[in-house]
Chains A and B, each alone.
Chain A
């Protein structure tokens, strides 16, 4: 029997090698696993009035308080906005806006007065706002050289082609590109006018207005932090519209050159054609007195930036901020609205569930 068995084995082997036996040597029977038989345990949600009802109530219950919170927060934010474009002849800046050119050497200043009805507590942020200014235009957005701004020496001398046509002006432009070229260059100064008519200048912080990452990582002066900027920027020229080269933007070496925070803020292009950009910070003095008390103020503008040609507007904005940013009642209202809608819908669904939900509708599947 043993020998016979061996013979069989050999025979089987032969047949396997010669025939299609190899594939048949193991059964083609599929595995009986939950996965292969599509029997994986599953959660099978069926959206009916009954099942979604709790979700609607829960959303309503959560959203309404959030909405109220947001709304209250937004309402607590003080914000003041003043348009100084000067399109209206009665406006103090009308003259400046009319006689403008990028290259004029004489400075045009104008003074606006305004009054704050409520005191501004805490740090107050001073913004300049532009309207109808498409910083998000596709070709405008691209017109910059990040490596140049990051302090790369070779990019400094030969800026990226994306900067065309603000690429070279006989010498390479630093910083190159349309964004830098069109940098906002109005100077805004704020004075508090005492009830006794004395003008007190309000200290405006230049630093701390840019993102930390931008200031410390993304933007760097060529040649390191201690280099002589004038020397480093030798061989480059200022952007066409600028009055002074980049290394003379500020006297403070920590805020000069590419790491000038005004430049950094400007370089982070705005998403929408109406935008504001942080200009200065008015730091709170102490807890006792408001940063900006109620009263009259004057805003002195050195009017350099032309917006008249494209019907743009310029604004100065003073705002406190909260945990959710600037003043924006929209979110609060939206949350409250959605929450209420959900709640109402929950009630409707409850009604529908009561009417239809208990029907045993399994027996009426038509044939």
Chain B
């Protein structure tokens, strides 16, 4: 495809690609190109200094509310209808838009700051003048620059990899910043670059690169590199280092920048913030429309009134001669009234809501309870405008792995050769790593800095809590292997070899990448070799003597391992690192492939004391793990380097860690070689012959290695239990150990026992894996090798051939044992789920896991209670599914009826009482259920269930379920998940919550709220959600009230001024009344009001139901509020009217007490509505009132001729010196607020709502408080007649909970 002449800008096709020439070549073309491509400076801000005003203006005018304002302002310039002076009419829009503009500017400023921070990051760039690398800001990096990066540095721009310090020309990057995947990705230096291995010299590099134009496809990169000799080398995505990824495990890499700044793939993938419309806002919009209707009605009244009034007048002296027809005058009056009464539409409400939500978010993000010290992250609100939706959630959809559980696999139990090792010591919780970490580094601030930066950034916790405390029994057996003095015959050596193989398999049968935190992988420090406690020969002899005959293998065949294989040891690059061993390996007899003597030349390996190791040690928080291991492997402590195992699946890392705990340590990995330490030996190299990676059809993976001790070709297979069991052979006898008498048992028996153990594991919710091996003799191996090589190189049917090849290898396996890995529940998950359920939220779990595991987890996290009835739906066809759904529906109704009749008869049968239903449905059945015909059945069924567990579901299904529930039931949904597979579900739900955890940032990126632990959901919903909802709902109602109340004063006046659109107030005061004098208190109210304390909300989750039922903001509440506003405005207008009627009161003098009392009423109304009054409230309320009075007084003192005709000069000062003014204000205020206070008091006394009761609870004394809570809980328990089965309060590890066995057995036996 790249056959045209390179780099011709005139070529029309060349427009679709870019040419990159190294920036140091003196070349006109290079210069020209550099100007053409964007620099590496990024700007994510929307505005620049210049463009801010026009652009912001343009954007704001896109909003309907602002258009309305603008329309009003324009209307005021029409002389025939104008109500105010035009300049005053412009104030609202200017004010609202400038507030919005300031808010936008502030948000933009934050982005600008982060941009600047990123732009000012430094990297090493080659400089042609200094002929070396200089530090340059990221912003100054250009296309064509050569950049050198060290380990753990972030890549500043998209670069083609030119050189890596890795001798194989590979480097690893972590793309967590990009796609959230934390596992390492391998990148390859461009093929056939001449200067591999040595230091890269940019001077010698003069090739040009031609590649496609910038695009957002992360996985594709096409182009070629043309060397000066016109040789072209293709470039692929493997050659590309992407911006914002991190270099890992490679000392230095060098690359040439091809895309910079906004042209990088990372930036092209960057999408803006999310915008959702909350339920409350949708409700609000309806009421805004009602306000519009109200406004039109009022204007219509005024228009008709004016017309009628005018037609009745005959030649009045006060009328300006005008020939306008009364009807036309009425029409004009309509528009005038729209201007006068414009405030009725609470347009400033929108900007107020935005400000309030920012305040709410500020408080949510500052909540200490939502802060996770270990991750140094709190809650992150990504969507700025749906805070109140948190308070109205009705359905919660949760992922399982990583959300309910830690997604941190922990080796828990294993069974080897039919013997179970329960690892009882493993049960306890581990101290949080931060504690050990911080204790180590308290006196080192630098360390703290480093520690935090790395911890927060890298998420490398996979190895942190994986430390395994070895089982005592197993440890003892193994010690026979490593202790020379211990007579081997004490234990059955056959079993010992089984154990040896088992752990060796765990250590080698994986794709784990080993790295040391401080150093790149290839620098993994060689342990200082020392004499093994038992010679290898001895061990090998033991193995051969005792085990090999039983496997009917010929020892002679295996003793002489082909020297060629050992010679391949670490052939490339690794030779340097492992130099001390390689010569040994080559010179030593083939039986002892690795060195067992102290290394004569401990050359280049940096000793820990000379490097900044202590920092990293603390930083990685691994010392506690080391400490664990030290206690186990005292003999190893002098050489033990902290190792990081990074695996694609956390299970693998857990297994390697487990093996390590028993002394089978994986030290390093290269494509052809594994370096392991066995108990009592130094590092042994295990030639890795083949690796058959995991795939989901085979459900297993295998490695083919040459056994380090016996030299045999061994296949180690690890996979799902059912698969492995089918592939194992039967019939060979084995000696069993633990009985005092030697006892032979068959492999059959081992399998049966193992199967039994596996069933136990599954019941405990453990993830099980079987480990098996097969010894190949060379006669078997050679032909297989040939066919496999053929399969690997074939182009057609390659996948099938490889599968076939793997299947030929993975049979006749010998079962070694099985492992049980636990994915620990996160802390407080059961409590959280229980609280959410009590809050009336239906919790669904959507997981890709299998049914048994899902049920177990559901049990452990109390989603499924012992008294629950479990309903399962596993069907193969749509018809069956339909029948099943109906059947279950019938079951529910009969049981519910029976339950009702039981309780009505007062019969308590104990076991017969069913507290709820839980539906378990698998992915296949779910597909049918989601079909249009069955949707209704499915929804009916699920509405009768307290919770639903969907297992084996795909990401698509997850989102379908969420959408179905949300759309057809019209409920508020929340989806929570942590991985990429939850993204679609998170996006579909009304509120998407991402858990920033093990699986990176993808879920977080698409979420509205990001939290670090599942338990935070409890406070986020029950407390913050409740608060945000009530606050906002009340604030909105208050806004409506305020506007209607004030505007109606003007409306009532129209009846006394001939509907002429006249106002009794100064127009500035009129405009400012809503915009300034009474705008801040509701904001404070919306941000800070607290109806019920956090602790009460947490302890009484049912208070959340108020938000679910939208109790704070129902249509009825809205109309009641409007009604109250009408009443108050009537009082506020007619009391002064009656007091002043017939007197010599002037127009503005009449308005003054009305305004004064309106202000008092509006502010005091706020006080009545507020549930909390702090000094801040007091300050703001007083300031508002003070501001008003200061304004009118200053106005009436200074403004002599200004602002005609509503000139306040002398009015306020005169009025306020009269006692009548105060008499009127007091009476008006009291009478206006009387009904509201009375209704509140009566309602709260006679039939208080739950929230009021909770408020009262809040107030009662602390002891009394707890006593009541306790009492209340007791009551509830009594009511439910919940007897039996006391469930433990805290479940550290689900596998440790005995009752989970009961609960999984019982319901399953009931149905299905």
Contacts and interface: CB of A to CB of B under 8 A. Distances in A.
Note whether A and B form a binding pair. Answer: yes
Interface of A: 4-5, 7-9, 11-12, 15-25, 27-32, 36-38, 40-52, 55, 59, 63, 66, 70, 127, 129, 133-147, 150, 152, 160, 162, 164-165, 178, 182, 211, 213-214, 217-218, 241, 268-278, 305-307, 309-310, 312, 323-326, 328, 330-331, 334-335, 338, 341-342, 345, 349, 352-353, 356-357, 360-367
Contacts of A42: 1090, 1172-1174
A16 B448 CA distance: 12
B154 A310 contact: no
B1252 interface: yes
B1027 to A, nearest CB: 8
A133 B1176 contact: no
Contact of B1057 (A16, A129, A136, A310): A136
Nearest to A52: B1241
Interface in B108-156: 117, 121-123, 152-154
Given A28-B376, A136-B1056, A270-B1147, A37 B457 contact: no
| Chain B binding surface, main DSSP class | helix
Most chain A CB neighbours (cut-off 10 Å) among B453, B1231, B1245, B1275: B1245
5 contacts: A21-B449, A29-B371, A47-B1237, A326-B1144, A362-B1272
A178 B1151 CA distance: 22
Contact of B152 (A15, A44, A45, A364): A15
Given A37-B366, A310-B317, A147 B1201 contact: yes
A162 to B, nearest CB: 7
A24 B453 contact: yes
Interface string B1149-1192: 11100000000000000011011111110000000000000000
Nearest to B1258: A44
A59 B1062 contact: no
Question: Which of A21, A28, A362: most chain B Cβ within 10 A?
Answer: A362
B1204 A49 contact: no
Contacts of B123: 18
A48 B1244 contact: yes
A44 B318 contact: no
A136 B1147 contact: yes
B1210 A214 contact: yes
B363 A38 contact: yes
A150 B1271 CA distance: 78
B1209 A217 contact: yes
A94 B532 CA distance: 136
Contacts of A40: 1088, 1174-1176
Contacts of B1213: 213
B1210 A146 contact: no
B1256 A162 contact: no
A30 B618 CA distance: 24
A241 B315 CA distance: 14
Contacts of B1173: 42-45
Interface in B266-302: none
A338 B1144 contact: no
B1150 A19 contact: no
Given A38-B1088, A45-B1173, A48-B1244, A28 B366 contact: no
Which of B1064, B1139, B1260, B1275 has its CB near the most chain A CB atoms (within 10 A)?
B1139
Contacts of B1176: 40
Interface string B1045-1065: 000000000001110111010
B1254 A309 contact: no
A70 B1223 contact: yes
A36 B364 CA distance: 9
Contacts of B900: none
A214 B1172 CA distance: 46
A326 B449 CA distance: 78
B598 interface: no
A134 B1057 contact: yes
B456 interface: yes
B779 interface: no
B1195 to A, nearest CB: 13
B1244 A47 contact: yes
> Can you list the 4 inter-chain pairs with the closest CB atoms, starting with the nearest?
A271-B1150, A213-B1210, A310-B316, A21-B453
Interface in B1200-1233: 1200-1201, 1204-1207, 1209-1210, 1213-1214, 1218-1220, 1223-1224, 1227, 1230-1231
B1299 interface: no
Most A CB contacts (10 A, CB to CB) among B336, B1139, B1204 go to B1204
B615 A271 contact: no
Contacts of B321: 165
B1140 interface: yes
B1245 A178 contact: no
Contacts of B1057: 134, 136-138, 273
Given A24-B376, A134-B318, A271-B1149, A310 B363 contact: no
B373 A136 contact: no
A178 B378 CA distance: 68
A178 B612 contact: no
Contacts of B1141: 272, 274, 328, 330
A259 to B, nearest CB: 14
Contacts of B1255: 44, 46
A306 B317 contact: yes
Contact of A363 (B615, B1088, B1201, B1268): B1268
A143 B1230 contact: no
Contact of A272 (B371, B1056, B1201, B1237): B1056
B1058 A36 contact: no
B367 A137 contact: no
B444 to A, nearest CB: 8
Nearest to A312: B316
Contacts of B1223: 66, 70, 324, 331, 335
Contacts of B1138: 330-331, 334
Contacts of B371: 28-30
Given A213-B1209, A363-B1268, A137 B1241 contact: no
Contact of B1145 (A63, A152, A272): A272
B912 interface: no
Contact of B1242 (A37, A45, A49, A331): A49
A306 B315 CA distance: 10
A41 B1245 contact: no
A353 B1245 contact: yes
B1139 A330 contact: yes
Nearest to A357: B1245
Contacts of A362: 1253-1254, 1256-1257, 1260, 1268, 1272
Given A44-B1259, A137-B318, A16 B1231 contact: no
A276 B457 contact: no
B783 interface: no
Contacts of A49: 1241-1242, 1244-1245
B1117 to A, nearest CB: 16
